Structure 1
Amino acid sequence: MKIVVIGGTGLIGSKVVSKLRQQGHQVIAASPDTGINTITGAGLAEAMNNTDVVVDLANSPSFEDKAVLEFFQTAGRNLLAAEINAGVKHHVALSIVGVDIMQNIGYMRAKKAQEDLIKQSGVPYTIIRSTQFLEFLAGIANQATNGSEVHLSDVLFQPIAAEDVASFVAKYALAAPINGETEIAGPERFALYEIVARYLQYTNDPRQVLSDGKPSYFGGEITHAALVPAGQAELGAINFEKWWSSQLQKA
């Protein structure tokens, strides 16, 4: 099977490419660095030739409201048009749990616009909505830091390891399109401040985490349970302790 992975050199994409190649598939790791650009359209038609499945893992270089919306709309239109022309049989996209109840946040509006383009395209599809990645913990702490304190809320948080995300994406890429959404999440649920405090403790970071932040994400107010699945979700196998052990092995 020929599979094109858009964003195939990134955190999730590189893992997905590796997993699919190990199973004997012909996989193109598509990114501007490899000559395939969903914004300009460069290299898209050639990449789509005889392609069975497209996995879209691309992310916007800017999270500013207007820029991120333009990125996902432009990339989505160019990619889906190329897929239609080439007769691609399955479009798999990675999205975010709770995206439709956080439409006050620019990034979530952009991801929802991406989902809508996919649904309206006529290309058979699978949308995988994921919770936040364990790999984001450092960035979350840094965004909420004021001096030596980290101010975060007690919103529910169910982070998933990038390795598990990649396994789910590879699995769905090889399965039949569901023409709908499915949700994936980590195996453990925390209060956001609690898991960030544990992460900082494990990294010997002296910053103090305080549970007094507003329930917000990407600068917008959210509900207490917006970041976790509302119903059934497939759960990853890697909990925080196992993930942390793997980080130490890489160091």
Structure 2
Amino acid sequence: MRVAVAGGTGVVGRYVVASLAALGHEPVVLARSAGVDVLTGGGLDAALESVAAVIDVTNVKTTSRRAAVGFFDTAGRTLLAAEMRAGVQHHVALSIVGADRVRMGYYEGKVRQEQLVAAGRVPWTLLRATQFHEFAAQVVDAVPGPIAVVPKMRSQPVAAREAAAVLAELAVGPPLGRAPELAGPRMEDVPDMARRLLRARGSRRRVLALPLPGAAGRAVAEGALLPTSPGARARQTFTEWLAEER
């Protein structure tokens, strides 16, 4: 089975590609480095030839609502339109647990993506997952300096590799609509994750935990991004992931 992975060179995408290959399927990478642009549509029609399913793990690094909504809206519309032309039978999208409970930039972009998928004509599955273990590194590496500013946030992080494996399994199965939420095995404090990561790196940088502004900041600090319904729980803890990375 040919399965295309939009964002197939990213943090999650590269694991999705590996998971599909391990299951005996043929992954097709949709990325600029592979000659495909999901924003403009360049190279997309040719890449989707004989593709049965598409897994969308595209991403944009921004905290701007305008930029996030613009990216996910454009990429989503472009992908879904190309899938209709190619006769793709299953669209799988990755979103975030609690995205609709946090009215803030990036999360509003993910909500727009979800809306497009649900309203589209391609049969779909949507998987909401919690933040990845890699999130701690993304936060501390965002701005260099002696102090790492980290948002006060509670999470139940999951390994990107495990999330990718679930996406691959979903893609080769029937469309489910909203799949059960995926979360990690235990709850973590994000500033504490950052401190442990820096210690593991042998870094002397200090972590300054600051609340994000407004109602959205209070929401993530109080656990708005934690799962609220039954769903799959991954195995690897952040501690185990950290030891593996080190």
Please report the TM-score for the alignment, with normalisation by the length of structure 2: 0.89
CA RMSD of aligned residues (A): 2.4
Counterpart of 2:6 in structure 1 is 6
Note if contact 1:150-1:207 (Cα within 8 Å) is conserved in structure 2: no
- CA distance in 1 between counterparts of 2:95 and 2:158 reads 13
Counterpart of 1:116 in structure 2 is 115
Note if contact 2:68-2:108 (Cα within 8 Å) is conserved in structure 1: no
Note if contact 2:30-2:38 (Cα within 8 Å) is conserved in structure 1: no
- CA distance in 2 between counterparts of 1:188 and 1:41 reads 40
**CA 161–2 in structure 1, closer or farther in 2 if over 3 Å, else same:** same
Note if contact 1:102-1:222 (Cα within 8 Å) is conserved in structure 2: no
Counterpart of 2:224 in structure 1 is 226
What's the secondary structure of 1:227's corresponding residue?
Answer: coil
Post-superposition offset of 1:150? 4.6
What's the secondary structure of 2:67's corresponding residue?
Answer: helix
Q: Deviations over 1:155-190 (max 9, x none)?
A: 321111111111111121122111124311111112
- CA distance in 2 between counterparts of 1:216 and 1:229 reads 22
Letter matched to residue 169 of structure 1: L
Counterpart of 1:135 in structure 2 is 134
Counterpart of 2:180 in structure 1 is 182
* Number of corresponding residues: 244
- Report which stretch shifted further, 134-143 or 162-171: 134-143
Q: 1:183-198 counterparts in 2 under 5 A? A: 183-198=181-196
What's the secondary structure of 1:11's corresponding residue?
Answer: coil
Match of 1:237 among 229, 235, 238: 235
- CA distance in 1 between counterparts of 2:31 and 2:145 reads 36
Structure 2: gaps spanning 5 or more residues: none
Letter matched to residue 29 of structure 1: V
What's the secondary structure of 1:41's corresponding residue?
Answer: coil
Identity %: 35
**CA 37–172 in structure 1, closer or farther in 2 if over 3 Å, else same:** same
- Report which stretch shifted further, 73-82 or 137-146: 137-146
Note if contact 2:150-2:190 (Cα within 8 Å) is conserved in structure 1: no
**CA 209–67 in structure 1, closer or farther in 2 if over 3 Å, else same:** closer
Q: Deviations over 1:43-99 (max 9, x none)?
A: 111222221100001112544322221111111111101111222111001111111
**CA 47–97 in structure 1, closer or farther in 2 if over 3 Å, else same:** same
- CA distance in 2 between counterparts of 1:145 and 1:159 reads 24
**CA 234–216 in structure 1, closer or farther in 2 if over 3 Å, else same:** farther
Match of 1:214 among 206, 211, 234: 211
Please report the TM-score for the alignment, with normalisation by the length of structure 1: 0.88
**CA 156–145 in structure 1, closer or farther in 2 if over 3 Å, else same:** farther
Q: 1:98-177 counterparts in 2 under 5 A? A: 98-103=98-103, 105-142=104-141, 147-148=146-147, 150=149, 152-153=151-152, 155-177=153-175
Pair 1:42-2:42 in alignment: yes
- CA distance in 1 between counterparts of 2:171 and 2:18 reads 13
Letter matched to residue 214 of structure 1: P
Note if contact 1:157-1:190 (Cα within 8 Å) is conserved in structure 2: yes
Structure 1: gaps spanning 5 or more residues: none
Pair 1:55-2:55 in alignment: yes
- CA distance in 1 between counterparts of 2:102 and 2:241 reads 28
Q: Deviations over 1:129-178 (max 9, x none)?
A: 1111111212323558885465642x321111111111111121122111
- CA distance in 1 between counterparts of 2:213 and 2:128 reads 19
Note if contact 2:13-2:164 (Cα within 8 Å) is conserved in structure 1: yes
